């Protein structure tokens, strides 16, 4: 073998041996070249007391909108996002029970390691209500459809959007959304969302507890009850905070005695989305629904966001001829005036028509015709003939909200609002003695009163505002505010003729009244230690009523003065009521996933007429509850919610 071939073999063998060494070096060089110029953004998330917030969610976006990165703070509240190109970024931090903190247009240079610090303030009701499974670092608890927050100061249950969207019927009203809350029963004889539902919990029927929407109380003016079929269908609701106690001093509303159901509008989506849906179900129920999320839009800073939902529902109902038609639409708009001030507007309208009667079936009728028997279409001499019974109920609800961080720990939340309920109902009633309903019988008054039907009307328009001011310091949180509302009501019931639709001259009753509600409050939440918080507060509830009652056929006040014997046309009355409502509570975090609280709180029930006593006495509820091992029962049995044990004293 000549020297040349031997030299060639040596060179080739050396090249093969050098490949494993050359390849890593080349790869490393290429990687270093690719990563050059990349930067890191890190930081720490703190609560109002300066303690770290583990599991806070971090969202990073570049100002061009082309890059989105997410991170989660570790057990020390620290986060880090690496591999970022130079540019300007918007970074937000959020945690359950806290307001979202945002830093905009954060500059990041090439090869820079930048550090940010977020201090989250406590949110209002619409911001606080999220599942708090993250507090125990449990994925199972985060995914639970309901939860009891570890920082609870009363018997609370949170219903999240996942449960509403995936575990309730598209026709559901807010009564059905809370049906699985402990101690709660919701019934609707015509089917889910197909008429007025009734919700009771812990023995309290409707009229003994509050319901509000985005912190705004809503209720009837004649009694503090609620109409589930005429306000806030599930398409408008993004979550529920259910407090089964009188709450704290900052819990506003006419009837916090039994508890409060806080309904929350859907959160704004940062991404554009258009959705349409069609549902068909039992009792020939049809629902068309369309919704639109605009995402952030409007100029370079994209300060605007819009959500729209419209739907149409028709159903024959489970009960015979109890037909329902509902048309509804809602709009929510947010505009960021600055990094610290957000303007929110909401409007919702419902147009409801129904054949629901003002009667119930007898046991004999149910046995003979089935348990869904209510109305019929074969015998027009009976009061349950479906053409004699109908509702028409349009409603609307609007508010404008201003939320601002004022600096030095001060924050402001202000919502002026208005809403209207307009119920027109016509229903038949069987003449005395079981006489048939026909033109001859209905044309002859009985004691000067038409015997066959009633033309009923109940309408009110309300204007009000909610104001909440808070200041967060190193030792605690001071809260103060005011709820004020004025309502104008017009109600009457006239005997009528179902054939001619002509009303009597004198009503069963007819009245107009005006009410004012005032509730100023103040409370302080003291952070005694990192594990213990103690809160105390005081609320003053004050109500005024001015009533104008017109002469009637003897159903309420008659038309003749019993003292003078002279006829009259109208009577005026006025009255006012007040009550002081203190509260105190404490929460102690035994372990990261185990807390205990104690509460003593008072709540009132607003009087419903001038016959009510000047002071309606209130009861005091005391409860101790432990919310522990939020994920334990889910790990053992995925069908069970996080374990929540409550021990009333």
Q: How many other β-carbons are positioned within 10 Å of the β-carbon of residue 79?
A: 23
At residue 438, φ and ψ (nearest 5 deg) are -150, 175
- pLDDT for the residue 104: 81
| Tokens describing residue 160 | 């999240």
How confident is the model over 168-217, as pLDDT tens digits?
999 999 999 999 898 899 999 999 999 999 999 988 999 999 999 999 99
pLDDT at 329 over 70: yes
At residue 322, φ and ψ (nearest 5 deg) are -90, 70
230 or 641: which leads in pLDDT? 230
Please give the helix or strand (H or E) that residue 155 lies within, else none: none
What mean pLDDT comes out for the span 34-54? 74
Instruction: Point out the least confidently predicted range of 51-65, 363-377, 513-527.
Output: 51-65
| Tokens describing residue 626 | 């432990």
Distance CA 56, CA 432 (A): 68
Closest C-alpha to 425, from 390, 462, 475: 390
Distance CA 456, CA 358 (A): 11
86 or 377: which leads in pLDDT? 377
How confident is the model over 569-617, as pLDDT tens digits?
999 999 999 999 999 999 998 887 788 889 998 888 887 754 434 443 3
How confident is the model over 421-473, as pLDDT tens digits?
999 999 999 999 889 999 999 999 999 999 999 999 999 999 999 999 999 88
Residue 92 contacts residue 71 (beta carbons within 8 Å)? no
Residue 397 contacts residue 422 (beta carbons within 8 Å)? no
CATH superfamily name and code, 260-648? TonB-dependent receptor, beta-barrel domain (2.40.170.20)
How confident is the model over 84-119, as pLDDT tens digits?
888 888 899 988 767 788 888 788 888 888 888 888
Task: Calculate the average pLDDT of the chain.
Answer: 83
Distance CA 472, CA 506 (A): 59
Q: In CATH terms, are 39-119 and 260-648 the same topology?
A: no
pLDDT at 626 over 70: no
- pLDDT for the residue 185: 92
- pLDDT for the residue 620: 32
Per DSSP, the three-state class of 88 is: strand
CATH superfamily name and code, 39-119? Carboxypeptidase-like, regulatory domain (2.60.40.1120)
Q: 167-206 burial string, b = 16+ CB within 10 Å, else e? A: ebbbbbbbbbbbbbbeebebebbbbbbbbbbebbbbebeb
What mean pLDDT comes out for the span 256-280? 91
Strand-pair partners of 377: none
Closest C-alpha to 105, from 71, 72, 64, 70: 64
Strand-pair partners of 345: 333, 400
pLDDT at 486 over 50: yes
* Total-model pTM: 0.75
Provide the residue ranges of all domains of the chain, joining segments of one domain with +.
Answer: 1-32, 39-119, 260-648
């Amino acid at each position: 073998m000549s020297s040349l071939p031997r030299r060639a073999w040596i060179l080739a063998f050396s090249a093969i041996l050098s490949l494993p060494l050359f390849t890593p070096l080349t790869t490393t060089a290429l990687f270093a070249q690719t990563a050059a110029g990349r930067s890191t953004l890190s930081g720490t998330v703190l609560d109002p007391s300066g303690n770290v917030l583990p599991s806070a969610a971090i969202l990073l976006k570049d100002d061009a909108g082309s890059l989105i990165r997410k991170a989660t703070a570790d057990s020390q509240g620290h986060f880090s996002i690496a591999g970022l190109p130079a540019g300007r970024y918007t970074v937000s931090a959020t945690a359950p029970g806290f307001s979202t903190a945002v830093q905009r247009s954060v500059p990041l240079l090439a090869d820079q390691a930048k550090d940010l610090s977020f201090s989250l303030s406590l949110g209002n009701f619409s911001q606080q209500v999220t599942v708090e499974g993250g507090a125990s670092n449990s994925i199972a608890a985060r995914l639970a459809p309901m939860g009891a927050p570890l920082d609870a100061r009363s018997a609370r249950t949170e219903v999240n959007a996942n449960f509403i969207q995936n575990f309730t019927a598209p026709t559901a009203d807010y009564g059905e959304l809370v049906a699985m809350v402990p101690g709660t029963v919701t019934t609707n004889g015509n089917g889910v969302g197909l008429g007025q539902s009734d919700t009771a919990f812990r023995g309290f029927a409707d009229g003994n507890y509050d319901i509000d929407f985005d912190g705004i109380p809503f209720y009837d003016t004649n009694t503090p009850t609620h109409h589930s079929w005429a306000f806030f269908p599930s398409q408008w609701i993004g979550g529920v905070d259910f407090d089964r106690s009188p709450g704290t001093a900052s819990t506003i509303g006419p009837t916090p005695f039994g508890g409060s159901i806080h309904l929350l509008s859907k959160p704004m989506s940062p991404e554009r989305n258009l959705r349409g849906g069609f549902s068909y179900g039992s009792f020939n129920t049809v629902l068309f629904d369309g919704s639109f999320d605009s995402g952030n839009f409007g100029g370079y800073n994209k300060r605007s966001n819009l959500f729209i939902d419209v739907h149409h529902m028709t159903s024959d109902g489970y009960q015979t001829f109890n037909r329902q038609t509902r048309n509804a639409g809602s709009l929510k708009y947010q505009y960021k005036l600055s990094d610290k001030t957000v303007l929110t507007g909401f409007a919702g309208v419902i147009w409801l028509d129904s054949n629901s009667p003002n009667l119930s079936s007898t046991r004999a009728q149910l046995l003979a015709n089935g348990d869904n028997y209510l109305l019929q279409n074969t015998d027009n001499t009976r009061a349950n003939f479906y053409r004699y019974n109908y509702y028409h109920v349009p409603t609307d609800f609007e508010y404008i909200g201003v939320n601002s961080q004022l600096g030095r720990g001060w924050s402001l939340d202000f919502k002026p609002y208005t809403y209207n309920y307009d119920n027109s109902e016509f229903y038949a009633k069987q003449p005395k003695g079981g006489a048939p309903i026909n033109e001859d019988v209905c044309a002859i008054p009985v004691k000067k009163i038409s015997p066959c039907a009633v033309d009923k009307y109940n309408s009110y328009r309300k204007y009000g505002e909610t104001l909440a001011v808070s200041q967060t310091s190193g030792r605690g949180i001071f809260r103060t505010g005011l709820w004020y509302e004025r309502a104008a009501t017009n109600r009457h019931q006239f005997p009528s003729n179902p054939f001619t639709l002509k009303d009597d001259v004198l009503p069963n009753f007819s009245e107009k009244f005006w009410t004012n509600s005032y509730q100023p409050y103040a409370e302080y939440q003291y952070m005694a230690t990192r594990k213990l918080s103690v809160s105390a507060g005081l609320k003053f509830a004050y109500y005024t009523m001015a009533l104008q009652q017109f002469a009637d056929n003897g159903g309420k006040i008659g038309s003749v003065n019993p003292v003078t014997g002279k006829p009259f046309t109208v009577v005026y009355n006025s009255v006012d009521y007040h009550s002081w409502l203190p509260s105190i509570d404490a929460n102690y975090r035994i372990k990261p996933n185990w807390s205990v609280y104690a509460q003593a709180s008072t709540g009132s029930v607003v009087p419903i007429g001038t016959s009510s006593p000047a002071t309606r006495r209130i009861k005091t509820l005391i409860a101790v509850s432990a919310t522990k091992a939020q994920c334990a029962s889910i790990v053992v049995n995925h069908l069970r919610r996080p374990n929540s044990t409550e021990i009333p004293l």
